[in-house]
Amino acid sequence: MRRVGLIGLLTLFLWPAPAGAAERLAFVVGVGSYQNLGQDAQLARPPADAQAVGDTLQGLGFRVTLLSHAVTQENFLRRFSIFADQVQPGDTALVYFAGHGIAIQGTNYLLPSDIPAVEAGQEMLARSRSLAEADLSAALRQRGARVVVMVIDACRNNPFPRNGTRAIGQDAGLARTEPADGVFSLYAAGAGQQALEKLPGSDPNPNSVFTRIFVQQIRKPGLNLIDLGESVRDEVARLAETVPHKQVPAYYNEVRGARFVSLASTDAAAPPAVAPATVSPKPQGISSAVAARPPDPAPPQAILPSPAQMPSSQGLKTPPSSIVYPPPASTLMRPPAPVANALPPPEPAPVARFGMFSHPIRLDPTGDNWVALRSLPSGQGGYRIAKLGPEALFSVIGRQGIWVNVRLRGGPSGWVHGDYVGCCRRAPIEP
């Protein structure tokens, strides 16, 4: 199948689907056996790498498609097309690939198990029988995925034999590429570097040097994408230096608000003290991803009408009242003046429970500095329930496309445009 066929086959399966609650999906692939290549090109760990990553992501609430056997080009494309067809607008889609990859003329290609043994001068054949990384991420963005995460553990040695001074692609590693808008890419090694499949000598760990660190780090609650890239890079580089070997993972970010996107949820268990390939039991529910921030003081609360007091007509275009949440500081009650010789006030009762709450981001402090909480997931239909200022706190209870269904802390629920929803701040949980 030629590369042109890749685009056509993907397009065939990528029909629009109705919008629903946002989900997190992962397509996880491990290719260890290359039937047309020599013994030196065979890899022992990618199937175990894929299993470890798939189990970990499923435990973090991802819906996982795992492919680690019979990873031919046709089977890969068919399974990926089914996976991409499940992606809805607003979803997070992650692709993990372990196996061989090559860089040809600045483009990275992932090699399926049935790649032929191409020789120097046959770059066109190599491209047509492999999988362009950029095509995969583009297909997910076309489906409306709000965040696409590409994790590539394919920066190993070039599996094709060298003919004199010529070879297919560069000798080792992949090329530096700038991801498209909305894509976060993480590679096992920097541009032109070779990634270690294992440490020299007796290495009992079943996973590659990169993947054993990756599955450790993504289990950490609140670790956002930027910090994930930094921590994986530092830990892998430190481990490789013990050999010694230079392997510094690279990441490239084009996700807006990446510091508020985490692959782990707040209730995900910390990494167990076992080999990275062993994961904790899978939870039954799926939680929203969060990225932790230092504790912030609880904002002053405004008195808001209950949901029962809100008009029921969805066609109403004008708000029943103009509500600001929280109110301006000038409208808050001032504390009473101190009284001479008065007894000190009693110590407030300790707050027993704390939680992580989302809050508005990307507001314009030189402009209106608020975002609308609306009765419907639309900027035109329904009415504005409240104006949410920078200190407003709320919980995410659902999604519809780009719109996020939220419930204010101690107040009503409504819809906020997803571009203005960030995470997270720690505050007491109100009864």
What residue segments make up the domains of the chain, in order of their start?
Answer: 24-160+167-260, 354-428
pLDDT band at residue 265 under the 50/70/90 scheme: low
Pairing mode, strands 147-153 and 183-187: parallel
Task: Name the pLDDT band for 390 (thresholds 50, 70, 90).
Answer: confident
8-17, 108-117, 154-163, 363-372: least confident range: 8-17
Q: Which of the following CATH numbers is that of domain 354-428: 3.30.479.30, 3.20.20.70, 2.30.30.40, 3.40.1190.20?
A: 2.30.30.40
Identify the weakest region by mean pLDDT among 91-95, 132-136, 285-289, 419-423: 285-289
Assigned token pair, 22: 């946002």
- Non-local (6+) Cβ contacts of 117 within 8 A are 36, 37, 38, 160, 161
Nearest to 385 by CA among 371, 375, 370, 398: 375
Regarding the domain delimited by 24-160+167-260, which CATH topology (the fold level of the hierarchy) does it fall under?
A: Rossmann fold (3.40.50)
Res 16: pLDDT: 39
Residue 30: its pLDDT value, please?
97
Query: Comparing C-alpha atoms, which of 104, 128, 105, 106 is closest to residue 115?
Result: 128
Per residue in 18-70, pLDDT (tens digit) is 344 589 999 999 999 999 998 988 999 999 999 999 999 999 999 999 999 88
Q: What is the DSSP string of 7-66?
A: HHHHHHH-------S--EEEEEEE----TTS-GGG--SSHHHHHHHHHHHHHHTT-EEEE
Domains 24-160+167-260 and 354-428 share a fold: no
Q: Has residue 328 got a pLDDT over 50?
A: no
DSSP string, 389-405: -TT--EEEEEEETTEEE
